[in-house]
Amino acid sequence: MISIRDAKINDAPAIVELWKEFMRQHHVNLVKANPKVEPHVSKKKNASIGFGKFLRKNIRSKNSAVHIAESNGKPIGYSLIYIKDNIPGFKLEKLGYISDIFVKKEFRGK
């Protein structure tokens, strides 16, 4: 059975592992389509540590929502959304921003 729930701080390591898989697929798909983008999608060596800190901050924030999808208790996907400042000059000062949505390949469409 697949379930989706609010993520908790102790879910962060599992979500970081999902993020790593997401970033590998993202990189391969983009670079395959256009090799010139490789310098623009390359990650720092400690990218997962930085993402983990960012993730924990957003799990704790009242202006963010982090969800985790599970199949029989195993993490299979996540989403990360938050409120951010809009570009100056617009009447609407804040925007809802969908940062990440990822589901493991074998669970997509379910």
Per the CB < 8 A criterion, the answer to whether 101 and 82 are in contact is no
pLDDT band at 25 (very low <50, low <70, confident <90, very high): very high
DSSP H helices in 3-93: 12-33, 38-41, 47-60
* pLDDT at res. 48: 96
* pLDDT at res. 93: 95
What is the Cα–Cα distance from 25 to 42, expressed in whole angstroms?
12
Instruction: Indicate the SS3 state at residue 92.
Output: coil
What is the Cα–Cα distance from 60 to 82, expressed in whole angstroms?
11
What is the Cα–Cα distance from 27 to 50, expressed in whole angstroms?
18
* pLDDT at res. 70: 98
109: left (phi over 0), alpha (psi -120 to 50) or beta: left
Percent of the chain with pLDDT over 90: 84
* pLDDT at res. 89: 95
* pLDDT at res. 40: 87
The pTM of the full predicted model, rounded to 2 decimals, is 0.90
Condensed to tens digits (0 to 9), the pLDDT of residues 40-80 reads 888 899 999 999 999 999 999 999 999 999 999 999 999 99
* Stretch 82-86: mean pLDDT: 95
What is the Cα–Cα distance from 3 to 73, expressed in whole angstroms?
8
